[in-house]
Structure 1
């Protein structure tokens, strides 16, 4: 049996025990082995066929079997709340968060930095940082508020989910659909990274338009796991994120007990090195939309609820062109992280594991040192190597959490200090 199935949104049929999948019926009167049939719907039942996402799960116990939830008192920085006071339109940047204290798992190690909509609106996105030092041994997490895009920056994650196991390393990303239960192990003993929590329309591949049939992220490079299950009658804690708050209940078994499943809603992983970068071969610097890996559309065509954009190694060849990102103000709001190396628009102050925010119409661009260097560079073909930055761009302005505002770099505005005035003839 293969460990992964290739393809984005493909219909997959997979069973960990031969004969567990029913043939010709989704919910037979008596599923094989006494399993329980359950449909997991990521879209409304009546969504158009090309957008409809759901999977049928065949499991040892129904997920409806659990005691009432009560408020979870841990993970004090994993929240949806933001400040209520008016938000100044300042550019903000953060250093990487501190390493996790001993005994901190992925959920307790979450720090919410930016939020831009109430999850109940089924719109918007939140950006979190995580630092973990312990496996989720007997704890399970499920997010009712949105799908989670995990972006490791240091240390691998092994994600044990209801629909299979996913190993994801820095330079790769993994997505857990809304509501799917999982726990995270740390093969390297610790891990750090980012999470983009999408409350809106499901992430999908962007249309290619004039690019044509090939380019950017190829569907076949997305990998969905084969069925796997955990048959354990030991106690487990289930933590669920719901309406921006965390809740907990106790189970007498592992809920990762899906023996077989079929459908097109499932976790996946993707290697960012497989992204086919598109760029100019003549002049000018194209818009960063050419680096879009995934998009979550809003109700307004062309205005994304969330775009996941990367800035990978690539050739720069434009003639008579300022090659780093130019100065700009944008109706979209930009949250940027750095997985590895250095970002080509900033000389210093933006470290791997850090984060920056340029909200709606905030002027930004290269710092003084980068501007000077790029303005005077010999414009021969040059390859940017050893770097991987990303951006979670949204049409909704981000609100930093109180923690984020209290821990931002105090001197970020100095990055644009000292630019000389242009001299007219």
Structure 2
């Protein structure tokens, strides 16, 4: 598969030579009888620097379908109503792999979220699947989807081309874009559904021009299409619910496209980690890959933050994440290895934890003792990759999250065993 590089560049790509119009012959008479269709994920009048739209040249317009009807086949988006939300710190074991045949759409289960699709907010989901999607596509009209694989490779076929992602990569599907997920075996991972402003790269401020995620490392697929005249099911998420309809051809029939509203993938190993070389522990904001800004400057609707392998170099400091209470709510996942603030066990790859706003959390007792006693030499943290979906609002939990069988009943126990400080008399 081939890719174009750069974050939100204006791309132009065609799968058949001559399919992409040039100059005045667009869009009245596209070549080969193709249909021109604009795909907009921001308002037409959004500032140029924020405007996202692409022109698609496809074999049939997307208007050709019957009425949608409710779809009840998936656990996806059992939207939280607040009745299961507590101030307690929560931690979950990984989702078990399905015993029956389950594809990506039916394998998604909602753990929490906030806001709603008509305003802003996020949905947080985990997925476990063992079957590929073929004559089926998914369209999320409520928000863009940030997919974080933890186990197994995904081949994501979108209207604008194909992407392959493995654990250690992420993929983003714009709101409203149809896609299917092909797999060769069991897969598991995480999804952040973003109802707010589209994810973008964070500003670098005093860091300067270089650091964190670099635009050149984001990859967008080139045009690819399939010409299949057979029934395809379209499952659409709209206003928090799932709907379905059937069309008589593949929805992946875009022969050429140009624009800057497109799916992309990113290899997290390319992240340029910044850190301290003197004292104090820097805030986790220095690990931000992507951010969805809110209407409050400096406060995100959602930040996607990673904790990758890195050197720890600093004097007179507590090196793991410190104890804190945060105005932001934090949902964490672990892709592989051991998270340096939870070396005492319990937080395992494929699992998750939630620390809602202003509820104290930090390293467990074992990790704290080790960090306070260790000789502060330069140390490299290796074989680990954790991440966080961080939001300004409380993350409401679902019934499945609280009663679905993966919630650990003893998470609070990891903070037992701290000795009381001994003050001089």
| TM-score above 0.5 | yes
**Residue 80 of structure 1 contacts residue 115 of structure 1 at CA under 8 Å; is this kept in 2?**
no
Q: Aligned partners of 2:413 and 2:100: how far apart in 1? A: 36
For the residue of structure 2 that corresponds to 1:120, the secondary structure is: coil
Change (3 A) 1:173 1:66: same
Q: CA RMSD in A?
A: 1.1
Matched, 1:252 2:238: no
Q: Aligned partners of 2:417 and 2:26: how far apart in 1? A: 68
Q: Aligned partners of 1:28 and 1:317: how far apart in 2? A: 57
Q: Aligned partners of 1:26 and 1:339: how far apart in 2? A: 48
Residue 142 of structure 1 deviates from its aligned partner by 0.5
Residue 137 of structure 1 deviates from its aligned partner by 1.1
Matched, 1:157 2:151: no
Matched, 1:20 2:16: no
Q: Corresponding residue for 2:295? A: 299
Q: Corresponding residue for 1:108? A: 106
Q: Corresponding residue for 2:125? A: 128
Residue 88 of structure 1 deviates from its aligned partner by 2.2
For the residue of structure 1 that corresponds to 2:196, the secondary structure is: coil
Matched, 1:388 2:385: yes
Matched, 1:57 2:53: no
For the residue of structure 1 that corresponds to 2:206, the secondary structure is: helix
Residue 27 of structure 1 deviates from its aligned partner by 4.3
Q: Corresponding residue for 1:318? A: 314
Aligned residues: 421
Q: Corresponding residue for 1:94? A: 92
Matches within 5 A, 1:261-340: 261-340=257-336
Residue 368 of structure 1 deviates from its aligned partner by 0.5
Q: Aligned partners of 1:83 and 1:59: how far apart in 2? A: 40
Residue 80 of structure 1 deviates from its aligned partner by 4.3
Matched, 1:208 2:204: yes
For the residue of structure 1 that corresponds to 2:128, the secondary structure is: strand
Q: Aligned partners of 1:376 and 1:264: how far apart in 2? A: 51
Q: Aligned partners of 2:73 and 2:273: how far apart in 1? A: 41
1:374-419 deviation digits (Å, cap 9, x = unpaired): 1111111100000000000000110011000113211111111121
For the residue of structure 2 that corresponds to 1:336, the secondary structure is: strand
Q: Would you identify which runs of 4 or more consecutive aligned residues in structure 1 move more than 6 Å?
A: none
Q: Aligned partners of 2:211 and 2:350: how far apart in 1? A: 28
**Residue 84 of structure 2 contacts residue 398 of structure 2 at CA under 8 Å; is this kept in 1?**
no
Q: Aligned partners of 2:357 and 2:70: how far apart in 1? A: 35
**Residue 164 of structure 1 contacts residue 226 of structure 1 at CA under 8 Å; is this kept in 2?**
yes
> What 5-or-longer segments of structure 2 have no aligned partner?
none
Residue 100 of structure 1 deviates from its aligned partner by 1.9
Matched, 1:372 2:369: yes
Q: Aligned partners of 1:25 and 1:397: how far apart in 2? A: 51
For the residue of structure 2 that corresponds to 1:47, the secondary structure is: coil
**Residue 151 of structure 2 contacts residue 167 of structure 2 at CA under 8 Å; is this kept in 1?**
yes
Change (3 A) 1:202 1:38: same
**Residue 55 of structure 1 contacts residue 265 of structure 1 at CA under 8 Å; is this kept in 2?**
yes
> What 5-or-longer segments of structure 1 have no aligned partner?
none
1:109-149 deviation digits (Å, cap 9, x = unpaired): 0011011111122x111111001100001110000010001
**Residue 337 of structure 1 contacts residue 352 of structure 1 at CA under 8 Å; is this kept in 2?**
yes
